[in-house]
């Protein structure tokens, strides 16, 4: 049903798909950028339905209750519980919680927005990068290009441990993509 709705959305709005999910990759962090609008989730989620990527995204466990929780789960939401496992322990970091998801599953594709907001930020958040390192998984660059109405999958980055260099490679790719609000995109 969601694939059919996604196909209709792309047809009615004139969007197209580009790229292909890497073969044989079972676990991956997927970045989605540039992230400048609430519409980004709609188009990105639709694109991944059409590309048949079993996409997930993380969300605070507090949101996963009742009908809203059921709807979010059907769209790939995975609740993150960062609460301490034992009395006196500190809260678990999001990176550790997400890395634990990769370690506990045979297959997992988690979408994140490296900017962490729809506003322009000169420095990306790096949690997704450290999640990929701790989880032992590559980073696939998902994108939206509103100028050309193309959604898709770009290169795969295998984290080298050199955060600045790897993120600059990613930003170089994303600078060729135009967000809904270009002034908020990757510079």
pLDDT of amino acid 131: 95
What are 35-50's pLDDT values in tens digits? 999 899 899 999 999 9
Q: How confident is the model at residue 82 (pLDDT cuts 50, 70, 90)?
A: low
Secondary structure (DSSP) of 98-111: HHHHHHH-S-EEEE
For 152-187, give one letter per residue: b (16+ CB within 10 A) or e.
Answer: bbbeebebeeeeeebbebbeebbeebbbbeeebbbe
What are 92-108's pLDDT values in tens digits? 788 888 898 899 999 99
What residue spans define the domains of the chain? 1-184
For 29-39, give one letter per residue: b (16+ CB within 10 A) or e.
Answer: bbbbbbbbbee
pTM of the entire predicted model: 0.88
């Amino acid at each position: 049903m969601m694939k059919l709705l996604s196909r209709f959305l792309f047809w009615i709005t004139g969007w197209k798909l580009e790229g292909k999910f890497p073969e044989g990759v079972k676990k991956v962090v997927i970045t989605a950028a540039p992230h400048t609008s609430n519409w980004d989730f709609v188009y990105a989620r639709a694109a991944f339905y059409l590309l048949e990527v079993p996409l997930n995204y993380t969300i605070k466990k507090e949101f996963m209750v009742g009908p809203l929780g059921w709807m979010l789960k059907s769209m790939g939401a995975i609740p993150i519980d960062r609460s301490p496992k034992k009395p006196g322990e500190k809260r678990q970091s999001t990176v550790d919680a997400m890395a634990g998801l990769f370690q506990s599953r045979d297959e997992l594709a988690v979408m994140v927005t490296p900017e962490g907001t729809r506003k322009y930020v000169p420095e990306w958040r790096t949690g997704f990068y450290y999640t990929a390192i701790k989880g032992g998984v590559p980073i696939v660059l998902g994108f939206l290009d509103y100028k050309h109405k193309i959604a898709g999958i770009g290169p795969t980055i295998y984290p080298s441990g050199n955060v600045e260099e790897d993120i600059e490679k990613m930003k170089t790719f994303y600078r060729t993509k135009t967000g809904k609000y270009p002034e908020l995109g990757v510079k």
